[in-house]
Structure 1
Amino acid sequence: MNPLSCGRVSCPSSIISNSGCLRLCFRSCSCCISARNSLVSSAIDMPPYDEGCGGKYTRDAAASCTMRPMIEFGVSLPTIGMDDPSAVRLVAEQAETSGLDSVWAADHIVLPTSHTSTYPYSADGEFLIAPGLPFLDQFTTLAYVAGFTSRVKLGTAVTLLPLRHPLAAAKTTATLDVLSGGRSILGVAAGWLREEFEALGLDFDQRGAVLDESLRLVRAAWTEQEVRFEGRFFDVSGVESYPHPAQTPHPPIWIGGHTKPVMRRAARYGDAWFPPLFATTPQALAEAHRAMNEEAATAGRGNGAVALSLRVLVDLRSDPDLAGAEKRGALTGEPQRIAATLAEYAEAGVSHFVFLPQARSLADVQRTIDLLSAKVVPELR
């Protein structure tokens, strides 16, 4: 094992070789943060900069090095509009065999038949899901996928945590992490659909404050022998929550969204920030991420505590809906063009891209994964 490797199953090596290039693991677990710090402070020999390596490392005459993160890629499972377990299985297996790093499932408990809420993840504010479509539960789906995969991470994109008691969410995620061998990622957000909160008898206007407190309680449930918590919304003592997750200290928490409250939340509680591509530019993203990590460091979380991931809608169908893609902020065009766009975001610090294929059928999803894994991903690795 490499001396700078953390040795965990979910992160077998912090320094790996790829065609002669060294690449650094930028996972947000504490062991990998330690490995990165060890590398930066050490005097180990590194190869010279080589254009053929894609500039993964550079080393100048003064022996200072500039590192880019090892980039990972994931894909959303077909949990919306399809209720066929074979479709979920085919896409998950395709992701695993094609070299993608993660699979993801979205979240809504109920959807209103009509609403006036503005959807924050499309350019025109319109919700992307038509009424009457099936919407599979994310945790049940990911547990199903865990049973026939062995490598891909299993992420929620995202869990609307204020819709659930945080102890229930902590238990479900910890169980998924244990049963999958430490492969879970908990992506969270506050939610946007007022009518969904009202249907569940929950206060929509307090969702941000509830989410902040919930994140603290989830961490406590994952790490403490006896859970003790006293807050504005939750008061817990004299209970335990086992099993704890397989990952140490816990599964990564990704904070979804792109507003200023989201950025503050990510700085305080997140292992990664998870905004949508359409809402930002590479330059703005890099500046916001830098400020976020400065705030995290001020709060005592250490340098580089918050990684950067990105939610990317892609329409690679042979007959893409160009007008719809513009409304949704989806990337279209030749795979090489998409790779060039994503390369700008990689330069801005993105270490994990999560693709949401725009599709009318399972065949569309599979074609998109084939093109991404063959013509986009290799350009960025």
Structure 2
Amino acid sequence: MFPISADPAEVVTFAREAETLGFDFLGCGEHLFFHGPVTNAFVSLAAAAAVTDRIRLLSALTILPVYPAVLAAKQAATLDRISGGRLDLGIGVGGEYPPEFEAAGVPVAGRGRRTDESLRVVQELFAGGPVELEGETVRLRGLSLDPPPLQAGGPPLWIGGRKEAALRRTARFGDVWFPYAVTPEQLQAGMGRLGELLDEQGRPQGAARGAFFGWGHVARSGALARETAVRVVSSIYQQDFAPLADRLLVIGSPAQVVDRLGAYAAAGAEEFLFAPAADDVASLRETVQLFATEVLPQVRSLGPRGAST
């Protein structure tokens, strides 16, 4: 993942390095406003698309309810074409920083319902052809996306969230369930529930796969990795992560991180977004390089079909 606090101008260098190091996808998060600096995923990933050829590009996550649904669909379709069909569209409901909703003129209450309607709009526009839809916040009268996304049916939809609503949203719209800050046990339980909900929606088992987003740090010293990750993530979210670190962060020596990811793979994760928690550029480069050389090759063999990062 492109570091949340980095200068957006650095995304070009970061994207080139991620592709060269062998990562499968580059993630970029976003907020309109947050506790600290955050970029915009559509803009930053467009820059990344221009300097890469292979790596897939993941918005992690687009806070969909603060966008007009048709604007999000248009930007995603355009980015998919710019990237040669390499976009994965991650969707979140947000709400952890209410001032950004107020600034956008969108109520925090009802953001889940707004997201569901927007997902319907995005999905129908991605499908191609004129769309007729009358909703609470959207009215489409025979309009089509032109040009459409390059990928047939549009970019895969990664649905963020840990609760029942997120699982229901995934079962209805998603290709990937993408929770943040979950234990392997929580992920496994969620995957079981997702299977039930896919049945209810009449979708086949396996129509939506599992992934997870994890802040982490890998270092030769497991203690140093833990200390660094706790300090950085606590600063980003303005809460003390020390009591949560061993349950929710991916931290330790290369061997410890491989074991940790193995637990998630066994629980049903096929993709993992590594969000490096680092104090500065030197620490960032060190942890990413170590992950790429000593963790990533072993991650390939995890899970029934292998895993990607």
TM-score (norm 2): 0.86
| Count of matched residue positions in the alignment of Structure 1 and Structure 2 | 282
**Equivalent-residue separation in structure 2 for 1:190 and 1:377 (angstroms):** 30
Unaligned runs of 5+ in 2: 232-240, 301-309
Q: What is the identity, as a one-letter code, of the residue corresponding to 1:316? A: V
Q: Which residue of 1 aligns with 2:31?
A: 108
Choose from 135, 141, 145 the match for 2:38.
135
Quote the offset at 1:145 in angstroms: 0.6
The answer as to 2:218 corresponding to 1:299 is no
Give how far 1:225 is off.
1.4
Identity of aligned residues (%): 35
- Amino acid in the other structure paired with 2:73: A
Alignment correspondent of 2:304: none
Give the corresponding residue for 2:260: 341
Report 1 or 2 for greater relative contact order, CA contacts < 8 Å, sequence distance ≥ 6. 1
- Once residues 249 and 142 of structure 2 are traced to their aligned partners in structure 1, the CA distance between those partners, rounded to angstroms, is 48
Of 40, 51, 57 in structure 2, the residue corresponding to residue 154 of structure 1 is 57
Match for residue 11 of structure 2?
88
Give the secondary structure class of the aligned counterpart of 2:251.
Answer: coil
CA displacement at 1:297 relative to structure 2 = 2.5
- For residues 81-129 of structure 1, the C-alpha deviation after alignment (integer angstroms, 9 at most, x for no partner) is 23262x3222211110111100011111124xxxxxxxxxxxxxxxxx4
| Aligned counterparts of 1:218 and 1:284: Cα–Cα separation in 2 | 29
Q: Higher Cα Rg: structure 1 or 2?
A: 1
Task: Write the mapping of 1:243-282 to structure 2, written as runs, cut at 5 A.
Answer: 243-276=147-180, 278-280=181-183, 282=184
Q: Deviations over 1:224-283 (max 9, x none)?
A: 31121122332211322111111112211000010111111111111100012x323x23
Aligned to 2:2: 77
Deviations 1:268-309 (A, max 9, x none): 111100012x323x2332232122122113312222111101
Q: Give the distance between the partners of 2:103 and 2:11, measured in 1 at CA.
A: 28
Give yes or no for contact 1:293–1:305 (8 Å, CA) kept in 2: no
Give the equivalent residue in structure 2 for 1:219. Answer: 123
AA in 2 matched with 1:108? H
**In 1, Cα distance between the equivalents of 2:8 and 2:104?**
27
The offset of 1:173, in angstroms, is 0.5
- 1:291 counterpart letter in structure 2: R
Q: Secondary structure at the match of 2:110?
A: helix
Indicate the SS of the match to 1:233: coil
What's the counterpart of residue 19 of structure 1? Answer: none
Aligned residue for 1:279, secondary structure, equals: coil
**Which aligned pairs between 1:341-380 and structure 2 lie closer than 5 A?**
341-380=260-299
Identify the structure with the greater helix proportion. Answer: 2
| Paired amino acid for 1:96 | E
Match of 2:139 among 235, 238, 247: 235
Cα deviation, 1:33-66, whole Å, max 9, x if unaligned, reads xxxxxxxxxxxxxxxxxxxxxxxxxxxxxxxxxx
**SS of residue matched to 1:205:** coil
In the superposition, the TM-score normalised over structure 1's length comes to: 0.70
Aligned-partner Cα distance in 2 for 1:222–1:265: 17
